[in-house]
Structure 1
Amino acid sequence: MAESKASAEDGANRAANIFDVARLAGVSHQTVSRVINDLPNVRPATRARVEQAIAQLRYSPSPAARALVTRRTRTIGLVTPGVSDYGPTSIAMHFNFAARAARYSVDTVSALDPEPAAIRGVVEGLLRQRVDAIVLIVVDAGVLEVVRGLDLSIPLVAATSSPRRSPLIVSIDQYRGARSAVRHLAELGHSRILHLAGPTRAPDALERIRGWREELSERRLQIVEPAHGDWTAKSGYDVGRALAIEPGSAIFVANDHMAIGLMSALRERGLRVPEDVSVVGFDDVPEAGYLFPALTTVRQDFDTLGELIMQKVLLAVEEPDSVTEDTPIPTHLIVRQSTAPPRE
């Protein structure tokens, strides 16, 4: 009770913000945001507690945010890459689900040219359409630098992997996901763990390389420079036909589709998975559990990512000065039959 009273007194001495309300009500700032916007999936008792805290602290969104609210279109611009890759497609789908639940519509623009200059043009086009915010799914490491140079009048939230943290960046932890894959192979007894990486400019691929390399380095295992594919099964197949592989090796592949192509090439070369070569993928695509052998892989939580992006958009619109960095969403290693200890 004393703590609640202190919180109320603090709120009386200065303009309360959304985090003050959250502390007093004992909920997250995302829950406060949902109550303010009259969104579903908030328990009646929780809603009442938040409303009581709002009244007690005399909280109202910042004047700048209120000015924005009065001209809202309840439309968010979503910039997606012009590709059908599983990761970006899944992010876009789950973000659309979250936006719909928040009673927002989404204007999706596919950028056929992934180059940073082309993305800039797409973003500028959405600004002219008076969307309330823009969500950008980044597949080229240079895109964020170009976007940072724009004079934006609305929030822009980026879904991307980067060792550089930012309040308006939302991500899944590719780095630790990669380390968990390599750790699994090392703990099985593999000492030669190769890597088939994604495109050299893809942020997810770069973070997975970083995780693979640092896990090997800490274990003092040999590091062979990674091969690169383009996320497709064909590129995995092509690398699998040419890659120098010794029996007893293991391969960490940067996504499941390349792993599927790789395993096909290994079979053609007379190498068995996992008896001769262990393989780990990344993504946990729906087909992964039905391959022969079923693929060990790293699962990404795209459902949670979509919700987090939407929560970040709402907070950025209502309390732009209160947006804070989020911890990347953890991944989960799914162990199946494509990995085993190396043969003696």
Structure 2
Amino acid sequence: MSAEEPPVRRRRGPSMADVARLAGVSGQTVSRVANERHNVDSATRDRVQAAMRELGYRPNSAARALRNGEFRSIGVIVFELSSFGTTRTLDAVAAAATISGYTINLLPVLDVNQRAVTNAFSRLGEQAVDGVIILIEAHTLDEAGVQLPEGLPVVVVDSSAHYDYPIVDSNQAQGARLATEHLLDLGHETVWHVSGPPTSFAADRRKRSWELTLKQRGREVPPVLDGDWTPSSGYEAGRKLAANPDVTAVFAANDQMALGVLRALHERGRVVPDDVSVVGFDDMEESAHFWPPLTTILQNFVDVGRLSVDALIHEIQAGEHHHDPVAVPTKLVVRSSTAPPSPRRPTI
């Protein structure tokens, strides 16, 4: 810009006073409408909002938050962002928060320890959130000696949690029981299990429920094959299972490992479900398109996310919380990967 050119002045946006003049009300009335107060009659509120739209007036949300002490923002602390359950739950949390008029501040932690989690809470505090949802398995927090800070509303998405906060999770034990009972009810003598990693509470809860169900039905409990949630670990476990002619039914702790099991069985010439029935857990969208389509356990991540957000907003607005964990029911989804055992014994 040359010295002769006058400075460019930024056009001032419409003010609260402009809205008040157009609507024919006081500035205090405009402030009440902008701050969503209830002591304004509906006709006046409609007139003020119409004036806001006509002028293009946007209330200052930051200033309103400072006045009201509410930022309409939720922090989410998450570990293992790449896992299927975490991403689906996070997606559901974001959708539920948006519907409720809240924004999401996502903060992944690369390692679960006292310092990392404390720093995460501090950073979210600087970003002015009203509450926090934790998507980290609670036993991982316990093992790291993590103490959650006081004074901020918190919801933990993990049914193993023993913190004094609302807890929401899928009913892991129910899902494993449904999977195991389904295979036993088809006539299989027992059910083999490919577990998730020993460090995972969800894997441990599913494994314990599988074992308990077999014992309650008076069936033999086969040795567990540990995986790590990946298809490759399911494939390695599946190769061992495929080589054992006694194996006629397998419950994998997630659909991705079940996919690996299916491949191993196919390669060995074990026909699914004629020779071996397979059940997964999660009901990924892809599971209906495995070959054969996979019988699995549906986790309702939408409800987990919605109920987590509902519990947190109740904490924020009411300043109180309940201590009873919320266990979202799971559901057996029967497809073509399970059938009664074949009367013939396969040749290995």
Same fold by TM-score, threshold 0.5 exceeded?
yes
Q: How does 1:185-334 map to 2 (within 5 A)?
A: 185-243=183-241, 245-334=244-333
Unaligned runs of 5+ in 2: 1-34, 37-64, 344-348
Match of 2:76 in 1: 78
Distance in 2 between residues matched to 1:164 and 1:343, nearest whole Å: 45
In 1, are the aligned partners of 2:113 and 2:146 still within 8 Å (CA)? Answer: no
SS in 1 for 2:170: coil
Cα RMSD of the aligned pairs, angstroms, is: 2.5
Q: Using the TM superposition, give the Cα deviation of residue 327 of structure 1 relative to its aligned residue in structure 2, in angstroms.
A: 3.6
Alignment check: 8 A CA contact 2:131 2:153 kept: yes
Which amino acid letter does the alignment assign opposite residue 151 of structure 1?
A: P
Q: Secondary structure at the match of 2:105?
A: strand
Q: Deviations over 1:55-90 (max 9, x none)?
A: xxxxxxxxxxxx999322211111122332211100
Once residues 293 and 314 of structure 1 are traced to their aligned partners in structure 2, the CA distance between those partners, rounded to angstroms, is 43
Q: For 1:22-43, what per-residue CA distance to the aligned partner results, in whole angstroms no more than 9, with x for missing partners?
A: xxxxxxxxxxxxxxx98xxxxx
Amino acid at match of 2:189: S
The alignment covers a number of residue pairs equal to 280
State TM-score, norm by structure 2: 0.74
- Note the C-alpha offset of 1:187: 0.5
Report the Cα distance in structure 1 between the residues aligned to 2:273 and 2:74, rounded to whole angstroms.
46
Contact 1:120/1:146 (8 A) holds in 2: no
Structure 1, unaligned runs of 5 or more: 1-36, 39-66
Identity rate, percent:
36
The answer on whether the counterparts of 1:166 and 1:325 sit within 8 Å (CA) in structure 2 is no
How big is each residue's C-alpha offset from its partner over 1:280-327, in whole Å with a ceiling of 9 and x where there is no partner?
A: 000110111111111000001111111101110011112233424244
Cα deviation, residue 124, structure 1: 3.6
Contact in 1 for aligned 2:73/2:129 (Cα 8 Å): yes
Number of the residue aligned with 1:105: 103
Do the aligned residues in 1 keep the contact of 2:195 with 2:226 (CA within 8 Å)?
Answer: yes
Q: How does 1:44-55 map to 2 (within 5 A)?
A: none
Q: Which has the larger radius of gyration?
A: 2
Cα contact 2:166–2:321 (8 A) shared by 1: no
Match of 2:253, as an amino acid?
A
Distance 2:240 2:323 in 1: 46
Give the AA of the match of 2:327.
P
Instruction: Tell me the residue number matched to 1:127.
Output: 125
* Cα distance between partner residues in 1 of 2:307 and 2:169: 9
Under a length normalisation based on structure 1, what TM-score does the superposition of the two structures give?
A: 0.75
Corresponding residue number in structure 1 for 2:88: 90
- Read off the aligned partner of 2:157 and give its amino acid letter: A
Distance 1:199 1:177 in 2: 18
